[in-house]
Chain A
Amino acid sequence: MIAIELKRSVPRYAASKLAGRTTPGLLPYLAPLRVGHYDDPEIPGEGWVRVAPRLSGICGSDLAMISGDASFYFSPIVSMPFVPGHEVVGTLDDGTRVVIEPVLACAARGVEPPCEACARGDVGLCVRTAHGIIAPALQTGFCEDTGGGWGTMLVAHESQIHRVPDGLPDEAAVLIEPLACAAHAVLRANIEPDETVVVSGAGTMGLLTIAALRQLTNAGRVIAVAKHGRQQREALRLGADDVTTPSNATRAVRLATGAHLHSPDIGDAWLAGGTDVSFECSGNAAALDTCFRITRGRGRVVLVGLPGAAKIDLAPVWHRELDVLGAYTYGMESNGQRTFDLAIGIAQRVDLAPLVSAKYPLTRYAEAIDHAMDAGRLDSVKVVFDLDAK
């Protein structure tokens, strides 16, 4: 198979970490990535099938891994070298179009009996992701044994396989995985009818969160914080009531909620009052800081974007008695439905295909990654690899 592999290489890791700050254009070349011919991954055991990816997305967490910004927290549950890519639409050997639910939990690992979380269906919280018949990895796309979406072949356990409904284009299907994350985040927040919601960041996750909010909740006003023009237009299309820019976010939320605004001697302004819920979807520390400052007392701040190590003033969290909720992945929701099924349902009702802004063949991975890093500024949302392209 042809694939991009991410290796363990200290010098290249250091180089890309340095380049990421100074000359981001060099990053895809310096990163410990290599495109080449590799052996197809082997079927590790019973219930596993081969999937030939058709489209595979470049996710924010992939980029963090490449640029060396990802938290080392994950190193015990990642096995190098691996083929990245966990947002995958592909075909089985019989031609069935499927998306994979990438979490490699007890079922896939052949761990018996399953852990408590897996028994409940909360596969995202599986505590055995370093055990079983395959190498440690939280998801497909971080595992040495399974292959990943950025290669022409991967193996997946049947528990990971979801059929793509006919008529749903590949471009929409490739977004089902992140959409499931968004749906899970939205349901985590237990949104009451007419609550005001701020969605901070309007990349793929932010936009899909907006779509999920409109599909799964009766939220009142939804305010999207979007930096770039295309993002703002998509946010409005997917159901935001207002869009604002990061620099105006605090004031816009104040106006929408009728809160009072205070300006500290040092640091950003904050609201006495504010939004009921905010979703931080950019993974940016400053944006999270803003969310803490604009969410009302006992409101909820949901971390959707993957946050790294950051220095943030937690005084507002304490002072406002905020609920800070993480939202990693999916599994079984409290209403008894699998998150992936919900996501597939949403994808059928909302036109997601326009969010895929560019497709690249694997051989042009450097351009693809560079494009994905700068997606917002280039008026793009999702950049994907097209595995059928030569």
Chain B
Amino acid sequence: MTRSSRPGLVLEVDRRTPPVLFHNGENFRLERLPSGSRIVYPPEPLEALKHPEDAIARAVDNPHNADPLRAKLRPGMKLTIAIDDISLPLPQMQLPDARQLVLERVLTLAAEAGVDDVELVVANSLHRRMTEAEIRRMVGERVFRSFWPDRLRNFDAEDPDDVVFVGTTEHGEEVELCKRAFESDLLIYVNINLVAMDGGHKSVPVGLGTYRSIRHHHNVGTLLESKSYMHPERSALHHSASRMGKFLADKLDIFTIETTLNNAAFPSLYDFLSKRELEWSLRDQATYLAVTSGLKRLPDQMRHKLLHSIASPYELTGVNAGETEATHAKTLENLHRQHVVQVEGQADIMTCGVPYIGPYNVNSIMNPILVVCMGLGYFFNLYRNAPLVRPGGVLILTHPTPRAFHPVHHPSYIDFFDVVLADSTDPKVIEQKYEKQFAEDEWYRHLYRTSYAYHGVHPFYMWYWAAHAMDYLGDVIFVGGDRAVVSRLGFRTATTMADALEMASETVGRRASITHLHCPPLFLPEVTP
């Protein structure tokens, strides 16, 4: 069946417009926006590749700016395959995972060529280690059984035996990398490109990098100069990662395989999440009512479980392989085909709902710091050219912001919230005063290496991610947030959307223009200011 994919839409709200959906943590809410507000809707999912396996085979046989993969493989060589971790895609995709398809093709070729020394490394960088079950799900049973546990593993950025200092770029950035990867004859990176921030030179130096290396671009100064990091040409973060990537590419044979997905983020039961409200059928309305009231009544644990068990029917829209830059250029082209929506002009107020899932709480809890990262880090920065909201404007987010942390996954977040944020919410102050202590804390290091904890420094990066938004915005208001938590985060709480708009008028006046980002599913507004 061919599916017609309509482009994104900027809808002007009038009295005839139905209320609009907001994600609201582990639930949803409908809000009426004032007449004249604009709602930016994502484009509909592009038609998927009919035969993804064939497309993958074609891509590795006809790579961009590189020899075919077949030609690079030979007996006796040392081959390492790095794989994007569980932070992609969101939510997890229905099986088979794109990475499984790519890995199976690559490994078939490697077997044909008689390569024995193969190792698969999850490029989790400073993210938490993936559990056995998560890895099995991602790579598929066949790959898992062949390699687990000795030759399929998480990367450990704190393992002195698996880290090598490569050198310093011309900008003085230290490059440290997974030793196994660096000492291989060929490093293949298997990527899933969900948003324009991912992939390219960000894959290897970051995914297989260490704190010493990553701190050169994951810092407040760089992120303030990344406008936005969804627009790589304008992102200081990407410039730095690119320098490192090029530096590495001179010393190491890297073969990048990038996949792009359409934005079919939610299975058909949750159709109402992806549909424009004005096209909601009675069934969608009933589903909304049933889902929201059901979620409200479920105990926390079950609600978590239910939501995190949602797997999205993502499908591949493209596969590209070869030299990193040439490949990534094609990938971005493909991604923009799916994601870009043209928006005219910036608004005084931007509204957006923060969903139950983000890159760092898959099978976990979205804690208040991750909420800030989602709202001010990801959604605010979801633009090309210029933000959806004008400088000094107001961002209104919906999320209940409970004071809930996953004790295993996010131990340093708890202290970041209780100790660091109690002292200051200024990213620069925090960076200077606390980052080193958290990054080098023995206990966090221990938990990162042996348990399933994010690295001690990770909450800082979440906060830096939001630095540009904090710097740029006049006010941030959480609708329905926990007052104590939100005030600790340095923002304001409103009980209802109407109150929030009222509060926003202090900053932007009574006749403020409003733009609602109807997200997720993810997309990328290109804003002409």
Q: State the A residues within 8 Å of B (CB).
A: 242, 244, 248, 251-252, 254-255, 258-261, 263
Asked if B419 contacts A242 (CB within 8 A), the reply is: yes
Contact A255 B441 (CB under 8 A): yes
Contact yes or no, A254 B419, CB < 8 A: no
In the assembled complex, the CB of A189 is this many whole angstroms from the nearest CB of chain B, namely 25
Q: Which residues of B contact A263 (CB under 8 A)?
A: 407
Closest Cβ neighbor of B412 among chain A residues? A255
- Nearest CB of chain A from residue B413's CB, rounded to whole Å: 11
A255 adjacent to B419 (CB under 8 Å):
yes
Give the residue of B415, B419, B442 whose beta carbon is less than 8 angstroms from that of A260. Answer: B442
Interfacial chain B residues near A248, Cβ < 8 Å: 418-419
Least CB distance, B62 to chain A, in whole angstroms: 52
Can you list 9 A-B pairs with a CB-CB distance of less than 8 A? A242-B419, A251-B415, A251-B419, A254-B415, A255-B419, A255-B437, A258-B443, A260-B442, A261-B443
Q: Select from chain A the residue with minimum beta-carbon distance to B420.
A: A255
Q: Which residue on A lies nearest to B437, using beta carbons?
A: A255
B307 contacts the other chain (CB 8 A): no
Closest CB in chain A relative to B385 CB, distance in Å: 41
> Complex: how many Å from CA A377 to CA B418?
21
Q: What residues on A are CB-neighbors of B407 within 8 Å? A: 263
Chain B residues, Cβ within 8 Å of A261: 411, 443
> Which A-B residue pairs are the 10 nearest by beta carbons?
A260-B443, A248-B418, A255-B415, A251-B415, A252-B419, A258-B442, A255-B419, A258-B441, A261-B443, A251-B414
Question: Does any Cβ of A come within 8 Å of B446's Cβ?
Answer: yes
Set of chain B residues within 8 Å of A255, measured between Cβ atoms: 415, 419, 437, 441
Interface residues of B in 407-454 (CB under 8 A from A): 407, 411, 414-415, 418-419, 437, 441-443, 446
Q: How far is the CB of B146 from chain A (nearest CB, A)?
A: 36
Cα distance A259–B411 in the bound complex, in angstroms: 13
In the bound complex, residues from chain B placing their C-beta under 8 Å from that of A258 are 441-443
Contacting pair A252 B442 (CB below 8 A) = no
Separation of A188 and B473 alpha carbons in the complex (Å)? 54
Interface size on B, residues (CB 8 A): 11
Residue interface mask B375-412, A partner, CB < 8 A = 1? 00000000000000000000000000000000100010
Residue pair A244, B441 in contact (C-beta under 8 Å): no
Chain A: minimal CB distance from B448 (Å): 13
Q: Give the docked Cα–Cα distance between A254 and B418 (Å).
A: 12
Tell me how many residue pairs across A and B have CB atoms closer than 8 Å: 28
Q: Compute how far the CA of A251 lies from the CA of B441 in the bound complex, rounded to whole angstroms.
A: 13
A252–B441 alpha-carbon span in the complex (Å): 13
Contacts of B418 in A (CB 8 A): 244, 248, 251-252
- Given pairs A252-B415, A259-B443, 18 additional interface contacts (CB within 8 A): A242-B419, A248-B419, A251-B414, A251-B415, A251-B418, A251-B419, A254-B415, A254-B443, A255-B415, A255-B419, A255-B441, A258-B441, A258-B443, A260-B443, A260-B446, A261-B411, A261-B443, A263-B407
Contact with A along B253-295 (1 / 0, CB 8 A): 0000000000000000000000000000000000000000000
B443: nearest chain-A partner, CB-CB: A260
CA distance A258 to B443 in the complex (A): 7
When C-beta atoms are compared, the residue in chain B nearest to A247 turns out to be B418
A86: shortest Cβ distance to chain B, in Å?
Answer: 37
Residues of chain B lying within 8 A (CB to CB) of residue A242: 419
Please measure, in the bound complex, the distance between the C-alpha atom of A303 and the C-alpha atom of B414, giving whole angstroms. 29
A351 to chain B, nearest CB (A): 24
Which residues of chain A are near B414, meaning CB under 8 Å? Answer: 251
- Which residues of A are found within 8 Å of B441, using beta-carbon distances? 255, 258
Q: How far is the CA of A161 from the CA of B407 in the complex (A)?
A: 56
- The chain B residue sitting closest to A245, CB to CB, is B418
Residues on B with beta carbons closer than 8 Å to the beta carbon of A244:
418-419
CA distance A349 to B419 in the complex (A): 30
Instruction: Give A251 to B412 CA distance when docked, in angstroms.
Output: 10
Give the Cβ gap from B199 to chain A, nearest Cβ, in Å. Answer: 35
Residues of A within 8 A of B415 (CB): 251-252, 254-255
Chain A residue with minimal CB distance to B438? A255
Residue of A nearest to B407 (CB): A263
Task: State A242–B419 Cα separation when bound (angstroms).
Answer: 9
How far, in whole Å, are A282 and B418 apart by their CA atoms in the complex? 22
Contacts of A260 in B (CB 8 A): 442-443, 446
Q: Within the complex, what minimum Cβ distance (angstroms) separates A108 from chain B?
A: 48
Considering the chains assembled together, what is the distance between the CA atoms of A122 and B442 in angstroms? 44
Cα distance A244–B184 in the bound complex, in angstroms: 49
* Chain B residue at minimal CB-CB distance from A243: B422
Question: CB-nearest residue of chain A relative to B456?
Answer: A255
Distance, CA A233 to CA B443, complexed state (A):
30
A255 to B416, CA, bound (A): 10
Cβ–Cβ < 8 Å partners of B442 in chain A: 258, 260
Q: How far is the CA of A185 from the CA of B4 in the complex (A)?
A: 79
- Separation of A258 and B441 alpha carbons in the complex (Å): 6
The CA of A258 and the CA of B437, in the complex, are separated in Å by 9
- For B418, B441, B442, B446, which residue has the most chain A Cβ atoms within 10 angstroms? B418
Task: Give CA–CA (A242, B446) in the complex, Å.
Answer: 25
A248→B414 CA distance, assembly (Å): 9
Q: How far, in whole Å, are A254 and B414 apart by their CA atoms in the complex? A: 12
A232 nearest CB neighbor, chain B only: B422
Q: How far is the CB of B435 from chain A (nearest CB, A)?
A: 13
| Distance between Cα atoms of A258 and B411 in the complex (Å) | 13
CB of B173, distance to nearest CB on chain A (Å): 28
Residue of chain A at shortest CB distance from B441: A258
Nearest chain A residue, comparing its CB with the CB of B414: A251
- Minimum CB–CB distance for A372 against chain B, Å: 28
Q: Report Cα–Cα, A259/B446, bound state, in Å.
A: 11
A contact residues around B437 at 8 Å (CB):
255
A17 nearest CB across to chain B (Å): 35
**CB nearest neighbor in B for A248:** B418
CA of A307 to CA of B411 in the docked complex: distance in angstroms?
Answer: 33
**Chain B residues positioned under 8 Å from A252 (CB to CB):** 415, 418-419
Residue on B with the closest CB to A256?
Answer: B419
Closest Cβ–Cβ distance, residue B109 to chain A (whole Å): 45
Closest to B415 in A: A255
The complex places the Cα of A35 from the Cα of B414 at a distance, in Å, of 51
In the complex, chain B residues whose CB is within 8 Å of the CB of A254: 415, 443
